[in-house]
Structure 1
């Protein structure tokens, strides 16, 4: 199979984010050969991988899927979803597959669905680690076998190959576990014989839907990949792609704006040329792809780091706000003294994170602003080995966050708790502990695929 071009419709940057239905219709009218959309990310932190839960609402995912499944069925083109359920765990794949099955049954769509699972077991990975096949990515250090066993979930980040294999086996809908954002859009064009340089570059540009356009809120994008390069345009006819907006996306989530590693090799766009074909369409040529000598799969894993309780209060007192850093330091000191005296806890038994929103909670010392703020929200986050300890520390802090005066105040100020109770138990906290690669002999070896045929209603 080797076509002159392949057209990829990417309706949004993530399943469940929503998109105007008419933009998908326009993509079909332009002759889309495949619909591709990412289903998740690690952007929102380790909780979703560690807990195996999605960050998106079921109703939002179902609404997007209904539009896309019906569009794919009418146009008789494949639909590919990657990193299902946010982090690509097996449970996340099954969650999206369950929603898909409901829609297929309700709408009478007889489509073959492939579910590609990416979750990994610790023991086989420990064997690969012992054989020297697992290496850290910065800033991680060498991996200990015990860390693998502490992970609540581990996923391998697949490239395009498992997705392509499912398509070749006859799948009309591919629901993949953890995958590179680019693999979702690259799999079908590569299967159809498009060259890897333009294909991987186009896939990188479209990974976040309309983010490479002049209005990311307007929907997705449409890429046409051929043997010399690719063109890209927004699905909304009132929005534009420009050479700057397209080229700028190579800066997004990459350590090097000219080179990006995939499991199968490295994309090199250092010689790429971006030019406007008209006021809203961009042509890109000159992208290259360097195959890797060793195929690798990135591993992601998270474990429970403790349990958290949060408390929040607000300060408007100008006297405190004029010396807010001193007040925060005093709060930390008094809290530590009281926790030691009343709970008998040592400093190593718990951790306190105090953030001053409205002052420096986001940038910290990098913030160049000077002068007292008008109001500050004080967020106290306590973490301990168990929930009861974290909550006990937060309760000790309660009167301090409500009435702690500065050293020069002759009265007790009244600050403000927005909630009652003031303490909110956040449950287990997770941390990423795997950012490593594992050498594989086959790009599909770590992944498992199942097929389900939905019978259309008569």
Structure 2
């Protein structure tokens, strides 16, 4: 029988915050490893395209200091994945710099591994030419020109590079882009526990206490053993239930019963969820099917131009009862005014008009037809350079302040949110890679640097 592994997951993303008391509780429960995610694609392509973090250095440092101290005191490894939000090499270096300073301040000396997931254009083109790159729906075959357009490309690692770093002696592992589950799965798999319970436990725990009845800033504690896993919240006033645990397979998965990892597929069709008491849930029956071919998913972002945003609000009841008509009139008038004042054709720029409080989120799926009491109007302009984008937004300024519907006999006034209303957002990006590479080995596409190792 393999000894159980106890995993402390303090929150869904480092820098999001958690009570220090919950980490202390996890240590008291006998944690063998601390695993925490550092990012994802949830917040859009900017963070990958620009290689910039979403959260502040202060927020990441606050959480990281607590976890480094805890790992040192308990003599257990700390694993952080998708460093710097998108997992770029710059993101790994950014978190590593924070970690070095914190350890120096606290007199800690923990061997650290940096695992880089950045991919070069030349390497991806080599994989492409060798026929090792395959599209995921809904994209088609990858073109070399698309790869060349990307400012940054990362590969999404599984548990294997993390296990390799731990085996080399690392006590702090800072990984580039990784599957959210790989972080919690690494130590149980390294110690020989079965893949089915391990991957399922890691999936449920990936977002901290999102799998509980009261998801707030906090984490969970998972124990993986030979036949299944047990999960409980670190907050003593919160509970896991069979429903809350099972429901997490609905989160960010195309299939509620299966989830693909680089090494294979988690299958929870036969999983049974049992309440052990009013806070803990036991899960058994999860399986993992090894794939014939290990794969690494690619993520890449390319620039689309520069954006300027403007925001106003409408309270006029006449317009609110005719928003579709007003929005169509706005679009016609803006195109006309941009041609008149700037001499630009409508193929030289793009703009998006979003009516918040009406249909900005769901679009045509928005239910009901009752006129809203107020609507926020966001204009996003995209152009090849910032000056042009701002000039177009400024051209729209009078329309966003006073544009009536064609049947109105008075000039309405709208409410700008700021003065000036035009906000230059800089370079914009889009995701363009949703493909996998057939791995030569599970670690071949990743590079590990070790520091602070004993001689």
- Per the normalisation by structure 2, the TM-score is 0.98
In the alignment, which residue of structure 2 is the partner of 1:161?
Answer: 160
Worse-superposed segment, 358-367 or 62-71: 358-367
Q: Work out whether 1:178 is the aligned partner of 2:177.
A: yes
Matches within 5 A, 1:436-455: 436-453=435-452
CA deviation profile, 1:307-338 (whole Å, cap 9, x unmatched): 11111111111222221221111111111111
Matches within 5 A, 1:231-246: 231-246=230-245
Matches within 5 A, 1:123-272: 123-217=122-216, 219-272=218-271
Q: Work out whether 1:351 is the aligned partner of 2:350.
A: yes
Following the alignment from structure 2 to structure 1, what is the Cα–Cα distance between the partners of residues 369 and 26?
Answer: 50
Q: Work out whether 1:315 is the aligned partner of 2:314.
A: yes
Following the alignment from structure 1 to structure 2, what is the Cα–Cα distance between the partners of residues 386 and 136?
Answer: 32
Runs of 4+ aligned residues of structure 1 deviating over 2 Å after TM superposition are none
Judge conservation of contact 1:194–1:226 (CA < 8 Å) in 2. Answer: yes
Judge conservation of contact 2:11–2:217 (CA < 8 Å) in 1. Answer: no
In the alignment, which residue of structure 1 is the partner of 2:88?
Answer: 89
Following the alignment from structure 2 to structure 1, what is the Cα–Cα distance between the partners of residues 192 and 442?
Answer: 18
Following the alignment from structure 2 to structure 1, what is the Cα–Cα distance between the partners of residues 280 and 321?
Answer: 53
Following the alignment from structure 2 to structure 1, what is the Cα–Cα distance between the partners of residues 372 and 245?
Answer: 39
Judge conservation of contact 1:360–1:367 (CA < 8 Å) in 2. Answer: yes
Judge conservation of contact 2:81–2:177 (CA < 8 Å) in 1. Answer: yes
Following the alignment from structure 1 to structure 2, what is the Cα–Cα distance between the partners of residues 166 and 31?
Answer: 23
Please give the secondary structure, in 2, of the residue aligned with 1:13. Answer: coil
Judge conservation of contact 1:105–1:454 (CA < 8 Å) in 2. Answer: no
Matches within 5 A, 1:8-23: 8-23=7-22
Judge conservation of contact 1:198–1:229 (CA < 8 Å) in 2. Answer: yes
In the alignment, which residue of structure 1 is the partner of 2:287?
Answer: 288
Judge conservation of contact 1:104–1:454 (CA < 8 Å) in 2. Answer: no
CA deviation profile, 1:240-272 (whole Å, cap 9, x unmatched): 110000000011000011111100011111111
Shift of 1:162: 0.2
Can you give the 5+ residue segments of structure 1 that lack an aligned partner in the other structure? none
Matches within 5 A, 1:297-446: 297-446=296-445
Shift of 1:369: 2.1
Shift of 1:454: 8.1
Following the alignment from structure 1 to structure 2, what is the Cα–Cα distance between the partners of residues 319 and 238?
Answer: 50
Following the alignment from structure 1 to structure 2, what is the Cα–Cα distance between the partners of residues 198 and 405?
Answer: 61
Following the alignment from structure 1 to structure 2, what is the Cα–Cα distance between the partners of residues 387 and 139?
Answer: 31
Please give the secondary structure, in 2, of the residue aligned with 1:434. Answer: coil
In the alignment, which residue of structure 2 is the partner of 1:58?
Answer: 57
Please give the secondary structure, in 1, of the residue aligned with 2:138. Answer: coil
Judge conservation of contact 1:110–1:454 (CA < 8 Å) in 2. Answer: no
> Measured at CA, do residues 356 and 437 of structure 1 come closer, stay the same or move farther in structure 2, by a change above 3 Å?
same
> Measured at CA, do residues 218 and 402 of structure 1 come closer, stay the same or move farther in structure 2, by a change above 3 Å?
closer
Judge conservation of contact 1:11–1:19 (CA < 8 Å) in 2. Answer: yes
CA RMSD for the aligned pairs? 1.1
Following the alignment from structure 1 to structure 2, what is the Cα–Cα distance between the partners of residues 56 and 342?
Answer: 40
CA deviation profile, 1:64-84 (whole Å, cap 9, x unmatched): 001000000000000000000
Please give the secondary structure, in 1, of the residue aligned with 2:433. Answer: strand
Shift of 1:279: 1.0
Shift of 1:183: 0.2
Q: Work out whether 1:27 is the aligned partner of 2:26.
A: yes
Following the alignment from structure 2 to structure 1, what is the Cα–Cα distance between the partners of residues 50 and 211?
Answer: 32
CA deviation profile, 1:20-65 (whole Å, cap 9, x unmatched): 1111111101100000000001000000000000001111100000
Judge conservation of contact 2:35–2:184 (CA < 8 Å) in 1. Answer: yes
Can you give the 5+ residue segments of structure 2 that lack an aligned partner in the other structure? none
In the alignment, which residue of structure 1 is the partner of 2:72?
Answer: 73
Following the alignment from structure 1 to structure 2, what is the Cα–Cα distance between the partners of residues 51 and 420?
Answer: 28
CA deviation profile, 1:115-134 (whole Å, cap 9, x unmatched): 00000000111011011100
CA deviation profile, 1:217-252 (whole Å, cap 9, x unmatched): 151111110011111111112111100000000110
Shift of 1:112: 0.3
Matches within 5 A, 1:89-128: 89-128=88-127
Shift of 1:400: 1.0
